[in-house]
Structures are given as C-alpha cells and as structure tokens.
Structure 1
Amino acid sequence: MGIQTSLDAVHQATGLVESMRLADDLAFEAARTGGTRTIRLLTGALGSSDQLVAIAATHALAQVHDEQADLALSAVLSSERAFLREHAAWALSSRLPRPETVGRLLALVVEGGFVGMLAQRTLEQWSDAAPDLVAVSVEGSLIGVRDAEARYRLVETLGLVRDRIATRPLLTVAGDEGECEHVRVAAVSALGQRRGAPGVAVALERWADGEGYLADVARLALVDLAAGPGSAAGADDAAERGLTVAQLFLHADIDADLTAAGSGDNGGIATLLVRLGDALVADTAEHPVDVRPEAVSTRDSSTASRLPTSAGGAVHDGPPLTVSRVVTLSRGSSAGALESVSDLAGYDRGHVYGRVPLLSGPVPSAAAWPLRVAARRGIRRVLRASGGVDVLHLRMADVGSLAAADVARELDVPVVFTVAPDPHAVIQSMDLAGGLTRENFGDVDVKEHFWFRARLVQQLASNASHTVLFPRPELAADLRDLVGIDITSHPERHTIVPEGIDLAVVDRAVAEAAAHAAGQPATPPLAELRELLETLPAERRDLPLVVSVGRFHRVKGMATIVDAWARGPLRDRANLLLVGGDLTNPSPDEREQLELIHATLPRETHRASGLLLPGHHPNDTVARWVAAARFGVPGLAAPRGVYVCGSLKEEFGIALLEAMGSGLFVVAPDGGGPSTYVERDVTGVLTSTWDVDALSAAMARAVGLAAGEPDDQRAARSRATVEHSFTIQAMASALASVYGGVHLDEVAALDTAWLR
C-alpha cells in the first residue's frame, strides 16, 4: 500500500476508531517508503480540515528517518493548531535530539498542561543521549521565566536529567530562600533521586530539620535517597508469606470507610478497590487458591470466546498460594505519605494504604497528566516501602497507570492490566451521536486526550504479564475492532473476571429500608433521606424515586439523565434523585454537568419539579437510599422506584450491580458489561444512553414496568443474578488465581534464566 493510499484509507474509514487504527498502517508505510514525496504528502496533510488525518500524519512523519522530517516536526511545535503541537511533542520522543527543537519543547513545558507533560517526557528521553544539551537549555530557560508554576515545571524537568551535570543547579534552586517554596519543592524532590551525589544527603537533612511543606518533602526525599534499588518480592518464599498485590487509583483520597465516594473522580473504582482489597486478604486466607496447572479450568463467560480463569502455566508442587497483603495506593499529602511509608513497613499482612503526594492540589483526572513525575516518585516510594510486591494491578489509561508502568519496569514488578475499550467506546458513542467528528476530533482531543489514552491502553496491554477482561456480549470482536487486540491468539494471557459487590452491605441496607417501610423508626441514613424528601412539595410526596449514583462527569451522563427525565411525561410520574458530586466546591467536570442541569431546569425550580441533588455521601448511606427507592419512604416516596445508569459507556457497573442487589429495576447502556447481566425487560431496560430521546423512553418504560409488578419475584431474580456471579468474594477468588499464576510464571522464568 502506498503512502497516498494509506492517507486516503485514514480519511475514508467509516468510523473514527477505525481511522485511529489505520493510522498505525500509515506510520508503518511512512517508515517503509520514506523519501521526499512521503514527507511532502504528510506535511501537506497537517493542514487538513480532517483533524484526525492531520494527527495521523504527524505521527507518521516521526517514522520517516530523514532530517527534513525532523525539521517539519519541529516546526509543528509552533503550529497555531493546539492539538498538532501536542502530537508533535509526543511524536518527537522517537527522534534524536536537536538543539533548535529543545528550545521549542521547553517553551511548551513553560506553557504547561498536557502538552507540557508530553514535551517534558520527550526531553527526559532525550536527556539520556544528550544530558548536557537538555540541562544547559533548562538552566537558560530559567533565567527568563518568573512565573512560579512555570519555574516549577522547568526545575522538575531539570531533575529528570540523570547526569551529574544537573545536581549543582538543583542544589542551588533548593537552597535559594528567595525562590518560591513550590519551586524549591521541585528541586528537593528531584534530589531524592540522586543517591551518592556529593552534598545531597547533607543538604536534605538540613532542610528536613524544620517544619512545613518543604521539610516534609525533604524528609520524603531522604526516604527515597535511602531506599534500596528494587521492590520485587522474593520468588522462593511466597507460599510461606503469601503474595503482596498492589493496586492504585490516584484521583481520590481513598479511605477504608469510603466517606468521599461520588465526589470528584472518587467513584465506583474507589469503592471497588476498598472492597476488593478487604476481600482478597480475607477470602484467600480462609480459602487458598490453587494455581497449579492441573487445577486450572476454563469456563464459559457470556462472550463468544472461551478463556482461562487463571494464568497458570508454572509448575508448583507446594501448598496453594494466598494473597496475604494488598497495598492500595491513592493520593495524599506529603505528611500523609511520610506516615504511610512508616505504616507500610510495619504491616506484612492485611489491607494497607499508601499515599502518593502529587505536590499539587486535587485536579480532575483529565487534567492530572502534568503530575506524572510526582506520581512516579510517590508510587516508587510506596512499592519500595512495602518491602516486596509480587504483582501490580493497573486498571485505567490515566496518569497513574502511565507512571506506575514506568516504576514496575524499573523495579521488575510484573503487571496485571485490566483491558477495556476505553476511551474507544466513548469515541464510538460520541461518533454515533454526532458530537465527535473528523472536523473537531483534534479540538476535543486537546481536552480528552483520546489518542494518547488509546495508545496507552495498547502499550499497557502488550507489556502486561497478564490481562484481565470484563464480560461483554462480543468481547473478542470488540477488543479486536475497537482496541486492536486479538485475545484469541494467546488466550492463556487473558482472563475474564466480572466485577463484584459486597452483598453484605447491600443486604443490611435492604433490611433497614424494608423495616422502615413497614413502620420501624428510620435509621440515621434514612432519617437524612427523609429530611431531603421533605423539601419536595406535598403533591410530589406520593411519587416513586428514579435514582442514579455516581460522579458528575460527562461520561456518566448525569445531565443527560435530567434532560431525559424532564423532557417527557415521566417528570409528572416520578421524582429524580441524583447522588454524587461536590456541590460546594465542584471540579471543572462537576461544574460543567451542573451548568447543563441548570440549563435544563433552573436551580430555583428543582424542588418544585421533583429534582433532588444532595451531592456525594458515604457509600453505606447511599446504599440505604438506593434500597429505600425500592420499598418507598412512608409519607414521602412511593415504592417500586427504578435505578438509571446514563453513562456513555459502562465497562461493568458497580452502582448498577448494587441497585440490582437491592432489588431495583434498572435502566442501563445497551452495550458493554451491563448488557451481559441485565435481562432485557425482565430485570431492566437496555437502551442507547447517548440518545436522550431513547433514554427518556427507556426511563418511562422502566417506571411503568416496575409499577406493574405484582410481587417481589423480579426483585429476587435481580438479587440472585448478583449473588450467583457478581460478588466481591467471587471477584477476589478469580483475581487471586490470576495473581498466583503470574507469580509462578515469574518464578519459572527466573529458574529458566538461572539454568541457562
């Protein structure tokens, strides 16, 4: 295929996801053909109105081994099109350093944001081959930059130059009391990576012998300085001590009580990690998982393919392995990180938490990419402090996984990665809905980083020791067509593991809600719900509740649910309760959803219309409210409410499972994980959630079907579905088998290498 034919294929593909996949063929063709004509065609495509083609051409140029391609890419760093600047900064990482390009990359570092992270990442890679060029250029840039945030980014970039040439200027900045503290923090944090460098330990000890933020960071840097070179656990005593598994989600302060669930990015994943970590150390201690090959079996999922439920592979003659310790990493303060480092050293069993200071205030996940360096250092610190990690489980294509994958490679810790078509499914949904087109793809990508995240999914999956998959109706086809992964070629490397919930929490909530509906006094969570419902007009207090729980983010569709409810007769038949979001101090994503909601229904009309927005609440409280939607609240809400998930995409759906476990009839996306466990028009209604009219009709149908139920048989069926296949204990057991298999494969690989 010629270069022009490849360009045409990207432009003419029927869907955006297919065009992104064909961009790989274009890059391959550019590397194969090269030459002046290829460069001319690709350079011409940079100005195309088809923004997706322009992005594909940028990455293809990076595969042409020619000085003219270098010059063309360098020029793109100054393009008026912001999305092209980003992709050029990323693509240049595969090229050799050029002095004139270093200056342009540093200008993007000063600019900050996602493009600054990409430029910094390229400069870090270049610093291995040309440390003097990068270090001297950064020092020169610092002379003319006064903004504290920009100086922080430049100093952080200087700290990524591993050569000793960067040590002296780092010490100078760190010790300059006239410098902004935030900038000094960047230098102090970087000095913690310079073991053996003259004067570093003494300087850090001096700054650590004080109070405040800088002193906390200096103490963390001393921890880094004293840490050993690795963190992988010993391979020969796992049967005796049990496995240590690390998992992370950096966009929330995860606490064992889940007090902030639903706020910011602290959604279902935070709930899952807490429950799963507890279940792993509790369940496998009582029921060790046998991962010997003869104990490994295959099972049918609801997909078209058959995959093993365990990694298996290695011979293991000893006792079954257990997961004795789970380390859950989330963000935290520098002081909290110091405390967690101390705590981790004292626990060799149980579910423990490690804090990763991002040296920044909380930011939405889409804006967190510039925190890559701080995240990487914090993750490395926790894994080392854990004294040995057997497996690191990554789940998302975000800055945490990007940073953690680097650390795992450095410390030789095997990675398990949960693969899902994200952002691919979102791109497809937006493409179908008309909100994402070839003409605006790049402009949207500047905010959503679709291209980078899609490539990160592929990279994490290809480098993982094992991948975990969610059930989907057409799993093999979806992963092939959306993500570009053929899971049938090496089925032993993939395991289908449904997510699960803690039914004990749900059952307690159901018992309390049923008791209150039968006349018992309200428990504190239900009393709080009563106070909320009492704000409704008297004429609306005999209506059922339509409930949705989750983050206030565009992907979760909270504003779409309000629109769908408000535009039809359903508003007169049911009240709408949306639980989630920080309403006092909303993030940009939350603010966007709230503004859309207020555009549909002005704030002052919410109560009169039947809309309730109480913000986020602790997970246990929310469980009681969801259960109350089924049984009703005496005098304030009728029974037989429904639960609605309006997500553009939902890989599995923890909140949906909790609603079904409570016995609620549900509305769910007609695709992804929910369509494998929601029985159409039996336990729920499946619909195209990206289509407001379709969602509105589905919600109205669900309310009608729920109201017409003569007894609790359907509710019992919903709960039985969860109990049979989707408990947190079942998930923990399946994952423990995966982790044990990965560990045994690592042991076998080490033994083979030793024999050689």
Structure 2
Amino acid sequence: MELEQAIARLNETPFILDVLRSADVLADAVDRFGADSVPTLMSLISDDSDALTSIAAVHALARIYDDKAEFALSELLSSDRAYLREHAAWAFWTRLPRLDAVSRLVRGVIGGGFTGALAERTLQQWALTTPDHIALALEGALASEERPAPRARLAETLGLIPGPVAGRALCVLAADAGETEVVRVAAMAALGDRSVDARARAVVQEFAEQKGLIGDVARLAAYDIDLSLNPARPLPGSFRPAAEERGGRQRGLTIAQLFLHADIDRGLTRAGAGDNGGIATLLVRLGDSLLAEPGIDRVITLSRGSADASLAALPGAHTWLSDKAEGNPERHILAPVPLLAEATSTASAWPTRVAAERGIRRALLALGPVDVLHLRMADVGSMAAATVASRLGIPVVFTLAPDPHGVIHALDMAGTLTRESFGVVDEHEHYWFRTRLVQRLAGQAAHTVLFPRPELRNDLHELLGIDIDDDPGRFTVVPEGIDVSVIESALVEAEKRAEPGTEGPAEADPAEAAGASSADAAFDLLDELVRALPPHRHGLPLAITVGRLHHVKGMATIVEAWAADPALREASNLVLVGGDLANPSADEQGQLDRIERTLREHPDARDGLVLAGHRPNDVVARWLGATRFGSERDGHQPARPLIAPHGVYVCGSLKEEFGIALLEALAAGLVVIAPNGGGPATYIDDGVTGFLVDTRAPAGIRSGLRNALELAAAPEDVDSARISRAQNMVHAEFTVSAMAHALTAVYSDVAGRSSEPVRAEYAQ
C-alpha cells in the first residue's frame, strides 16, 4: 500500500482500537531504505490535533533505515510532548545504537517514569554491541547528578550493561558508605548478576553479613551468584527432584502464578487497597484448590514483598537467616518478589521491570523446576515473567482478556477518549504499549485461557483482532470461581445475628469461640460504621460495593448515581468497601476527590454514605451476609433494626472481565447491578437475579439501583426463588474448585507437549 493511501486509511478509521491495530499498515507503507517518507511522517508527528496518528508515525519512522530518519527520531527524544518522547524511546529499541541518541536516552532514565523505563530498556538492548560507550555515558551522568532517585535509576541501568567498566562503577556505588541507600541498593542488587566478577562477589560477601536493607539486598545478590555459579547443585531445603524423575514425570506438576501489584498474604488482609483487587483473593484460593487436583504437586504464587520476606521464602536461605526456619515446606508457596521501590499503581509500576525480572528469575530457579507459568493481565509483572520464562524454557499459559481494549472502546464510545486527547491519556495509562504487550504475551503462550463472554468470538475479533477458530486447540474457556464455603459460613452467621434477641455466642469449644468472636468483630465493625450515621439513617437497607478505588471500577460514578437521586438516598445507605483511606494512592485520591465534589453538590448524601476502606475477604463475606439479612442491633431505635434486610450489591466498573465480587454477592443471595458486557452478562439473569446496565454514566447505575431495591423487596416466595436460582448457578458452574479442575487439564496438556529440554539451571 502506498504511504498516502495508508494515511488516508488511518484517518478514515472510525474507532481508536482500529487505529491501534492498523498502525502497522502505515509502518509497512514507508520507504524502508530512503528518506522520501520522512517529511510526510514528520508532518503527521507535528500535528498535535491527532495524537493517535502522531504516535503511529513515530513507529513508522523507526522502520526507515536512513540517517535523516534516525536524526528525526533522536530529536523526538527531546520533544516538548511527553508522549512523543516516550514512543521515540520505545521505537529506538529496534534500531542499531546511535551515539547522539545515547545521551538523550540517559536523560530519559534520569527523568524516570514510563519514558525512563523504556529508555533503560533501549540502552540495555544497545549495550549488547556497545557496552563501554553506554557505561561511560551513564558514569558521566552519575558524576553530574546529585539527586538520589535519578542516581538510583542510573545505577540500575548501569547494572544492565555488561563489561568491566560498568562492573567497577557498580562496586564503587554499592560499597560507598557516603552514598544514599537507594543508590547503593540499586547497585548491590545488580552485582548479583555478575557472578564472574571477583570484585563484585567480594563486595556482596562483605555486606551480606550486615543488617538492614543493604544487608538484605546483598544476601539476595549472594543468592543470585550462588544460583549462577552452582546451577546443578540443589540448595538445602530445595524442592528440585532428580533429573530422571522430572523427565519421567513421576512427580506432580509445579505451577507458578503471579500478580506483582498485590501484597498477597494468606489472610488477604490487604484486599481492596491500592491494586489488591479480586485477583489477589483468586490466586490464594485457586492455589489451594489446585493442590487438591491429581497431578498438581506444588503451586508458587508470586507477589510483591520486601527483600527480607523474599529471602525468607527461598530454600537454603536459612544460612543467612539464623533466626528463621529452614526452607519452605509448604506446597502452596507464597513467594514475595522484592521490587525495591514504594508500592505503586499498576499504571505507574513499569519502572520496576528490572527488579521484577531479577526477583521472578530467582524465585523460579530456586523453587523450581516449574512446569507451567500462568500469566494474567498485561502489566509489568507479566512482561517481566514472560521474559524470564522465555530464557528458562518454561511454557506459558496466558489468560487473554480484551484489556485495555475494552476500556479504550468504552471511553471512545463515551467520547472521553479522542484522537486529540489520546497522547496525554496514554502518558498515564500506556494503552498503546499494553495493547502490544497483550499481542506479545498471546503470541508467546503455549495455551490461551479465555473468560466467558456472551459474544466471545466476535468480541475477540473486534477488540483484539484474534480469530480463535484459526487454531481452536490453543484456546480454552475457563470461568473464574469463588470459595462458596466462605460465603455459606458468613450467611449462617449473619442470619443468626439478625434474629431478634440474639445474644453473643457461648460456645464451650475454644476454636468455635474464637471463630465466633472473629465473626462478631466483623459484624460489629459494620454496625459501628452505620451507627455513626445520623439516627434518621438507621433502619435502611444497604447498597454495597466492593472493589478498588480506581476509575475503571467506577466507585465515584456509583456515588454520583446514588447521591443525585433523592428517592435512592431515602431508600438506602451506600457502603463503599475498598481503598486505602489513610494513605491513598494517586488513583484512590482521584476517586475520593470526585466523591467529595459530589457530596458538596448533594450535601444530604453525606449522611448516608459509608466509606469503609479495604477489608479482608472474610470480613467482606460477612458484610454481604449482613446486607442480605440486616442487623437487629440499634440502641437508638429498638423498634427497628440498625440495618434493614434486603440490601443490594452494585458494581460500577467500566468493564469487568469476569467479576469475583459479583459472584460472591450472588452466592450471598443479593440482587446485583453489573455492567452489561464482559463476563457478568454470561451469568447474571437480567431482571431475575440482577440487572445489567450501562455503567459508563450515572444514569445507568441509577436505574439499576432503583430496580434492584425493588426486586430485593419482593414477596418471600419470589425472593426465595431468585436466591435459589443464583446460588444454584454459582454452585454448579463458578466454584474455585471447578476452575482448578479445568486449569489442571490445561496445565497437564501444556506440560506434556513442552519440547523444551531440561535447562542447566534446573538439572541436577
């Protein structure tokens, strides 16, 4: 296709997603070995009224093997438009090193953020052929840069550069007591990748005996060096089987799964804070359920954590930790990956790529052999893990969802994401990069898992450009599932508590008494939150929602829908469960600010709104039970309950690929409101068990809330039939054990088909 035709096609493409997918048409149309296309592309790039086409032109420019194109691309690294700098740093990754661009890429590293992460990645690639030049450029930048955070980024990038020049500089930085800790940590972590460097080994050994963060990171670096120098020697406490046992598949499979944006613990105490969403709960429950399946021997769940916690989870690390137990004897291993940075949102975590790769590689090697790695979501954790898996020869299963494709399409349809605004939005959300990452992960995967959707084939084709009929054997639809026993126990407790005159439990058995005490504490907490509302708000049913305080989850939109309707306000109190209210992230603060603006506009709504913050999963389950059955404890008005029964559950997500919290609400017997696309549309019987609405604007949620409250208050026989229908459906199709069973078949097939030889890192 001629260049002018490609430009015309791009301009005529109506939807943003289609432009993202067809951008390669423009790149394919340029003159690869001449400069004729450069002026045309630069004209497109300079047009800030169409950021989408500008970005496409940047990547097309990178296809031209001509000095004028390279000079233009280098100049874009200094553009006053941040998104052009970002995409130029990305585009240069495919080019040969260009000396005048090195200094600009180094400035990008100093600036940090996503652009810095891309610049670092490009410098790492270029260092394969010009290591000393790049190492000297980084050293020069360190000599003139005094701020700790930029110096730490420069040190981390230096750690990616092979050769003695970078190695000497890293040793100096790591050992310098006058250097700031963040810089020393970055340099020390990098020394673990230099096992052949005697000086690096000496520095690591020297500081591995110290306490504190530097000592922790030095011990991790020493562990990395040991793994590299002794790949065939199993560490003390290691799970590595004999090579012939692994080759004969005489033991069960080891499955690794990860989500690096969560602080995953067995109690799920951080669920709902930051990015600790439903996937954190799912991975814990799923990992336990997989172990009940024949053929699964171990599950490794990786999430973020401290350097100290990471070391404690590694086999053989007890040699450094005299006060900790040896190894990790559990079959479901929670392995923290130290990102060596403050916890941040998924959209802002891309600069942790290097630490993520290092930590994932360490965990998989130390706890391996891993037979299958299951990746979900197009984020930095999956990107890092896919790179590690490729190097170690571990087959990958990828859960493919139209994310961020679904959000892009929804925002496009709502008119809030346009060609002109795309660049600025992309600076924060990185939609272009994430859509390409989904493509890469899907291409690398040995098998692809899909969520159920009403129009699955059509959606995948329209949103991702994938035709699953081309190779149906590579795709399996697996619904997510919940642990229904948790909900069932909570319902029993909630119903008993709601009975008039019910007093606290008097069980003689200490274990039962402890469990009852925990349940009472959860219910008491909800009672206290509602009791803190003005007395005239007592005795109303609850509209409850559970999730992260993030714009994709629509929490602020739910408040807007409820607050602007006097009838809804008079009929219910609204409870939002989720978010770190004490130390909100930028995304959380954005939602809180929107909520506050709504309350200023509708001051009466403040009396009926409860911001509960994040709560553990078992507490949330009990609150769902209380939403259904109510609470009889009201000191102000004994004649009526503090919380009336027949509450409802509302989900305001722009998109919901499946919806763990929605399934839990259905299992609890609540009428639910959910988005009218994606996974929920496959299991919510519209008008019967819940309502599917347009969640992009408050009007749709408002309509759903009205209908849901009316349906929840239906006569007992109608209500019982609805509840039975919803609960039977969840039990039959959406349990976590059913999900584990389906995935086990996938894992067994992938492991059986894997032709990768046993790598030296895994051999005895």
Q: Tell me the TM-score normalized by structure 1.
A: 0.92
CA distance in 1, matches of 2:496, 2:247: 50
Name the counterpart of 2:745: 737
Letter in 1 for 2:27: A
CA distance in 2, matches of 1:447, 1:142: 27
CA distance in 2, matches of 1:425, 1:599: 28
Name the counterpart of 1:555: 552
Contact kept in structure 1, 2:486 and 2:618, CA below 8 Å: yes
Name the counterpart of 1:583: 581
Name the counterpart of 2:237: none
Q: Deviations over 1:575-620 (max 9, x none)?
A: 1011111111111111110010010014995775311111111110
Letter in 1 for 2:737: Q
Name the counterpart of 1:257: 267
Per the alignment, do residues 475 and 511 of structure 1 end up closer, same or farther by CA in structure 2, a change over 3 Å counting?
Answer: same
CA distance in 2, matches of 1:159, 1:26: 36
Letter in 2 for 1:64: I
Contact kept in structure 2, 1:461 and 1:467, CA below 8 Å: yes
Contact kept in structure 1, 2:35 and 2:69, CA below 8 Å: no
Query: Tell me, what secondary structure is at the counterpart of 1:146?
Result: coil
Name the counterpart of 1:486: 467
Query: Tell me, what secondary structure is at the counterpart of 1:227?
Result: helix
Equivalence map 1:347-386=2 (5 Å): 347=328, 350-386=331-367
Contact kept in structure 1, 2:648 and 2:672, CA below 8 Å: yes
Equivalence map 1:500-649=2 (5 Å): 500-519=481-500, 520-521=502-503, 523-568=520-565, 569-602=567-600, 609-634=607-632, 635-649=641-655
CA distance in 2, matches of 1:534, 1:177: 55
Q: Deviations over 1:619-653 (max 9, x none)?
A: 10110001211112221122111111100110000
Matched, 1:726 2:725: no
Contact kept in structure 2, 1:653 and 1:674, CA below 8 Å: yes
CA distance in 2, matches of 1:721, 1:540: 35
Query: Tell me, what secondary structure is at the counterpart of 1:488?
Result: helix
Match of 2:711 among 685, 694, 705: 705
Contact kept in structure 1, 2:314 and 2:328, CA below 8 Å: no
CA distance in 2, matches of 1:173, 1:430: 46
Query: Tell me, what secondary structure is at the counterpart of 2:469?
Result: coil
Per the alignment, do residues 138 and 25 of structure 1 end up closer, same or farther by CA in structure 2, a change over 3 Å counting?
Answer: same
- Displacement of 1:415 after TM fit? 0.8
CA distance in 1, matches of 2:602, 2:677: 36
Letter in 1 for 2:34: G
Contact kept in structure 2, 1:217 and 1:334, CA below 8 Å: yes
Contact kept in structure 2, 1:414 and 1:464, CA below 8 Å: yes
Equivalence map 1:433-452=2 (5 Å): 433-452=414-433
Matched, 1:675 2:681: yes
Q: Deviations over 1:359-388 (max 9, x none)?
A: 111111111111111111111111111031
Report the RMSD for the aligned CA atoms in angstroms. 1.9
Letter in 1 for 2:332: H
CA distance in 1, matches of 2:86, 2:73: 11
Name the counterpart of 2:37: 38
Letter in 2 for 1:270: A
Match of 2:253 among 238, 243, 246: 243
CA distance in 2, matches of 1:748, 1:121: 27
Matched, 1:342 2:352: no
CA distance in 1, matches of 2:225, 2:601: 53
Contact kept in structure 1, 2:315 and 2:328, CA below 8 Å: no
CA distance in 1, matches of 2:572, 2:602: 19
Name the counterpart of 1:300: none
Contact kept in structure 2, 1:498 and 1:726, CA below 8 Å: yes
Per the alignment, do residues 339 and 346 of structure 1 end up closer, same or farther by CA in structure 2, a change over 3 Å counting?
Answer: closer
- Displacement of 1:467 after TM fit? 0.9
Q: Percent identity?
A: 51
Q: Tell me the TM-score normalized by structure 2.
A: 0.91
Name the counterpart of 1:74: 74
Query: Tell me, what secondary structure is at the counterpart of 1:744?
Result: helix
- Displacement of 1:20 after TM fit? 0.7
Name the counterpart of 2:690: 684
- Displacement of 1:237 after TM fit? 4.8
Letter in 2 for 1:590: E
Per the alignment, do residues 521 and 553 of structure 1 end up closer, same or farther by CA in structure 2, a change over 3 Å counting?
Answer: farther
CA distance in 2, matches of 1:422, 1:507: 32
CA distance in 1, matches of 2:755, 2:748: 11
Unaligned runs of 5+ in 1: 289-321, 752-756
Contact kept in structure 2, 1:324 and 1:348, CA below 8 Å: no
CA distance in 1, matches of 2:734, 2:248: 28
Query: Tell me, what secondary structure is at the counterpart of 2:37?
Result: helix
CA distance in 2, matches of 1:225, 1:242: 29
Contact kept in structure 2, 1:156 and 1:186, CA below 8 Å: yes
Matched, 1:84 2:84: yes
Match of 2:665 among 643, 659, 669: 659
Query: Tell me, what secondary structure is at the counterpart of 2:526?
Result: helix
Letter in 2 for 1:735: L
Name the counterpart of 1:402: 383
Per the alignment, do residues 573 and 76 of structure 1 end up closer, same or farther by CA in structure 2, a change over 3 Å counting?
Answer: same
- Displacement of 1:330 after TM fit? 0.8
CA distance in 1, matches of 2:659, 2:183: 41
- Displacement of 1:714 after TM fit? 0.2
CA distance in 2, matches of 1:650, 1:238: 41
Unaligned runs of 5+ in 2: 235-239, 318-325, 505-519, 633-640, 760-764
Contact kept in structure 2, 1:117 and 1:369, CA below 8 Å: yes
Letter in 2 for 1:329: L
* Count of matched residue pairs: 713
Per the alignment, do residues 74 and 530 of structure 1 end up closer, same or farther by CA in structure 2, a change over 3 Å counting?
Answer: same
Contact kept in structure 2, 1:606 and 1:612, CA below 8 Å: no
Letter in 2 for 1:271: T
- Displacement of 1:487 after TM fit? 1.4
Contact kept in structure 1, 2:599 and 2:605, CA below 8 Å: no
